[in-house]
Amino acid sequence: MPDTVLPRLSRGLRDLLPDQMLARQQMVDTIRGVYENYGFVPLSTPAIEYLDVLSGSAGQEAQQSIFRVTNPEKEDLGLRFDLTVPLARVIAQYPELPRPFRRYQVASVWRADKPDKGRYREFTQFDLDSVGVESEVADTEILAGMCDTLSALGVGRFLVRFSSRAILNLLLDFAGISQEQSVDVFRVLDKLDKVGLDKVKLELMQGYKDESGDTIRGVGLRAEQVEKIERFLAIRGSRNEVLGQLTDLFGKLETPVRSISDHLYALGYGDDQVSLDLSIARGLAYYTGPVFEAILLDAPQFGSVFGGGRYDDLVMRFLGQPIPAVGASIGVDRLLAALAHLGKIGQQKATARVLITNMDSSLTSEYLAMTWELRRAGIPTEFFLGSAKGPRKQLKYADEYEIPLAILYGSNEHQQGMVTVKDLIAGRENLKPTADRKEYLAQRAGQVTIPRSELVDSIRKMLAEIA
Amino acid sequence: MPDTVLPRLSRGLRDLLPDQMLARQQMVDTIRGVYENYGFVPLSTPAIEYLDVLSGSAGQEAQQSIFRVTNPEKEDLGLRFDLTVPLARVIAQYPELPRPFRRYQVASVWRADKPDKGRYREFTQFDLDSVGVESEVADTEILAGMCDTLSALGVGRFLVRFSSRAILNLLLDFAGISQEQSVDVFRVLDKLDKVGLDKVKLELMQGYKDESGDTIRGVGLRAEQVEKIERFLAIRGSRNEVLGQLTDLFGKLETPVRSISDHLYALGYGDDQVSLDLSIARGLAYYTGPVFEAILLDAPQFGSVFGGGRYDDLVMRFLGQPIPAVGASIGVDRLLAALAHLGKIGQQKATARVLITNMDSSLTSEYLAMTWELRRAGIPTEFFLGSAKGPRKQLKYADEYEIPLAILYGSNEHQQGMVTVKDLIAGRENLKPTADRKEYLAQRAGQVTIPRSELVDSIRKMLAEIA
Closest-CA distance, B25 to chain A, in angstroms, reads 9
Residue B165 to residue B262: CA distance in whole angstroms: 19
In which band, very low, low, confident or very high, does the pLDDT at B284 lie, cut at 50, 70 and 90? low
Q: Chain A partners of B18 at a C-beta cutoff of 8 Å?
A: 41-43, 103
Residue B228 to residue B220: CA distance in whole angstroms: 15
Residues of A numbered 271-310 whose beta carbons fall under 8 angstroms of chain B's beta carbons: which are they?
none
Q: Does B258 touch chain A (CB under 8 A)?
A: no
Which range is least confidently modeled, A115-124, A161-170, B279-288, B446-455?
B279-288
pLDDT digits 0-9 by tens, B71-118: 999 999 999 999 999 999 999 999 999 888 999 999 999 999 988 887
- % of chain B residues with pLDDT over 90: 69
Q: Does A387 touch chain B (CB under 8 A)?
A: yes
Q: Does A362 touch chain B (CB under 8 A)?
A: no
Q: Enumerate residues 6+ apart whose C-beta is below 8 A from A16.
A: A24, B43, B44, B45
Q: Chain A partners of B108 at a C-beta cutoff of 8 Å?
A: 47
CB B147 within 8 A of CB B138: no
Contact across the interface for B41 and A53, Cβ inside 8 Å:
no
Contact across the interface for B7 and A49, Cβ inside 8 Å:
no
Strand, helix or coil for residue B286: coil
Q: Does A319 touch chain B (CB under 8 A)?
A: yes
Residue A135 to residue A129: CA distance in whole angstroms: 14
In which band, very low, low, confident or very high, does the pLDDT at B428 lie, cut at 50, 70 and 90? very low
- Nearest alpha carbon to residue B175 among B186, B161, B164, B190: B186
- Nearest alpha carbon to residue A422 among A385, A450, A451: A450
Q: Which of A21, A44, A321 sits opposite B21 (nearest CB)?
A: A44
Q: Tell me the residue ranges of DSSP E strands in B22-150.
A: 41-42, 48-50, 68-70, 77-79, 101-110, 122-131
Cα dihedral A306, A312, A316, A318, rounded to 10, equals 60
Best to test chain B binding among A3, A29, A54, A69 (most B CBs inside 10 Å): A69
Strand, helix or coil for residue A198: helix
Whether pLDDT at B41 is above 50:
yes
Contact across the interface for B98 and A397, Cβ inside 8 Å:
yes
- DSSP string for A77-109: EEE-S-SHHHHHHHHHH-TTS-SSEEEEEEEEE
Residue A213 to residue A216: CA distance in whole angstroms: 9
**Count of A–B CB contacts within 8 Å?**
285
CB B409 within 8 A of CB B420: yes
CB B90 within 8 A of CB B107: no
Cα dihedral B123, B126, B130, B135, rounded to 10, equals -110
Who has greater pLDDT, B245 or A466?
Answer: B245
Residue A199 to residue A201: CA distance in whole angstroms: 5
Residue A169 to residue A452: CA distance in whole angstroms: 74
- Nearest alpha carbon to residue A257 among A272, A273, A274: A274
Q: Which of B41, B110, B319 sits opposite A22 (nearest CB)?
A: B41
Element (H, E) at A459: helix A455-466
Residue B354 to residue A366: CA distance in whole angstroms: 49
Output the CA torsion sign for B328, B332, B335, B339.
positive
Pairing of strands A405-408, A381-383: unpaired
Pairing of strands B158-164, B274-276: parallel
Closest-CA distance, A244 to chain B, in angstroms, reads 22
CB A146 within 8 A of CB A349: no
Q: Chain A partners of B98 at a C-beta cutoff of 8 Å?
A: 386, 397, 400-401
Cα dihedral A197, A202, A208, A211, rounded to 10, equals -10
Residue A45 to residue A89: CA distance in whole angstroms: 10
Contact across the interface for A15 and B90, Cβ inside 8 Å:
yes
Q: Chain A partners of B110 at a C-beta cutoff of 8 Å?
A: 47-48
Residues of A numbered 366-385 whose beta carbons fall under 8 angstroms of chain B's beta carbons: which are they?
368-369, 372, 375, 378-383, 385
Output the CA torsion sign for B430, B432, B437, B442.
negative
Contact across the interface for A375 and B108, Cβ inside 8 Å:
no
Edge-to-edge strands, sheet with A447-451: A381-383, A354-356, A405-408, A418-423, A447-451
Contact across the interface for A42 and B56, Cβ inside 8 Å:
no
Whether pLDDT at B389 is above 80:
no
- Nearest alpha carbon to residue B127 among B332, B335, B328: B328
Residue A127 to residue A105: CA distance in whole angstroms: 5
Q: Does A111 touch chain B (CB under 8 A)?
A: no
Q: Chain B partners of A130 at a C-beta cutoff of 8 Å?
A: 385
CB B55 within 8 A of CB B78: yes
Local confidence pLDDT in tens for the 467 residues of chain A: 457 899 999 999 999 999 999 999 999 999 999 999 999 999 999 999 999 999 875 555 567 899 999 999 999 999 999 999 999 999 999 999 988 899 999 999 999 999 888 789 999 999 999 999 999 999 999 999 999 999 999 999 999 999 998 899 899 999 999 988 888 898 898 888 888 899 999 999 999 998 888 899 999 999 999 999 999 999 999 999 999 999 999 988 888 999 999 999 999 999 999 999 998 876 556 788 999 999 999 999 998 999 999 988 878 889 998 999 999 999 999 999 999 899 888 778 999 999 999 999 899 999 999 999 999 999 999 999 987 778 888 988 888 888 999 999 999 999 999 999 998 874 444 545 566 766 656 656 688 899 999 999 999 999 998 86
Query: For B372, which residue in chain A has the nearest alpha carbon?
Result: A267
- Nearest alpha carbon to residue A278 among A178, A200, A199: A200
Contact across the interface for A401 and B56, Cβ inside 8 Å:
no
Closest-CA distance, B198 to chain A, in angstroms, reads 39
Intra-chain end-to-end CA distance of chain A, in Å: 50
Q: Does A99 touch chain B (CB under 8 A)?
A: yes
Residue B63 to residue B65: CA distance in whole angstroms: 5
CB A2 within 8 A of CB B316: yes
Which range is least confidently modeled, A437-451, B4-18, B242-256?
A437-451
Strand, helix or coil for residue B193: helix
Closest-CA distance, A436 to chain B, in angstroms, reads 36
- State residue B285's pLDDT score: 63
How many other CB atoms are found less than 10 A from the CB of residue A120? 18
Q: Does B241 touch chain A (CB under 8 A)?
A: no
- State residue A442's pLDDT score: 62
pLDDT digits 0-9 by tens, B141-186: 999 999 999 999 999 999 999 999 889 989 999 999 998 888 889 8
How many other CB atoms are found less than 10 A from the CB of residue B234? 11
Please give the distance of CA A433 from its chain centroid, rounded to a whole number: 46
CATH for the stretch A18-177+221-341: 3.30.930.10
Contact across the interface for B380 and A38, Cβ inside 8 Å:
yes
Strand, helix or coil for residue B312: coil
Which range is least confidently modeled, A422-431, B273-282, B451-460?
A422-431
Which range is least confidently modeled, A84-98, A306-320, B281-295, B338-352?
B281-295
Residues of chain A with CATH 3.30.930.10: 18-177+221-341
Q: Chain A partners of B135 at a C-beta cutoff of 8 Å?
A: 385
Give CA separation, B387 vs A133, A259, B139, B357, B384, in Å: 8, 19, 57, 11, 9
Burial class of A239 by CB neighbour count within 10 A (0 to 12, 13 to 18, 19+): buried
Q: Which of A18, A93, A137 sits opposite B7 (nearest CB)?
A: A93
In which band, very low, low, confident or very high, does the pLDDT at B279 lie, cut at 50, 70 and 90? confident
Q: Does A58 touch chain B (CB under 8 A)?
A: no
Whether pLDDT at B199 is above 80:
yes
Q: Is the CATH number of domain A354-466 1.10.8.80?
A: no
According to DSSP, residue B452 is labeled G
- DSSP string for B3-40: --------TT---B-HHHHHHHHHHHHHHHHHHHHTT-
Q: Chain B partners of A352 at a C-beta cutoff of 8 Å?
A: 39
Whether pLDDT at B439 is above 70:
no
Closest-CA distance, A69 to chain B, in angstroms, reads 5
Side-chain half-sphere of A160: how many Cα atoms within 13 Å? 29
Side-chain half-sphere of A286: how many Cα atoms within 13 Å? 16
- Nearest alpha carbon to residue B57 among B412, B273, B319, B427: B319
Q: pLDDT averaged over chain B?
A: 90
Query: For B356, which residue in chain A has the nearest alpha carbon?
Result: A39
pTM: predicted TM-score of the whole model, two decimal places: 0.90
Residues of chain A with CATH 3.40.50.800: 354-466
CATH for the stretch B10-157+297-348: 3.30.930.10
- State residue B314's pLDDT score: 79
How many other CB atoms are found less than 10 A from the CB of residue A362? 8
Strand, helix or coil for residue B391: helix
In which band, very low, low, confident or very high, does the pLDDT at B438 lie, cut at 50, 70 and 90? low
- DSSP string for A4-57: -------TT---B-HHHHHHHHHHHHHHHHHHHHTT-EE-B--SEEEHHHHHTT
CB A397 within 8 A of CB A382: no
Q: Tell me the residue ranges of DSSP E strands in B145-289.
A: 158-164, 207-209, 215-217, 274-276
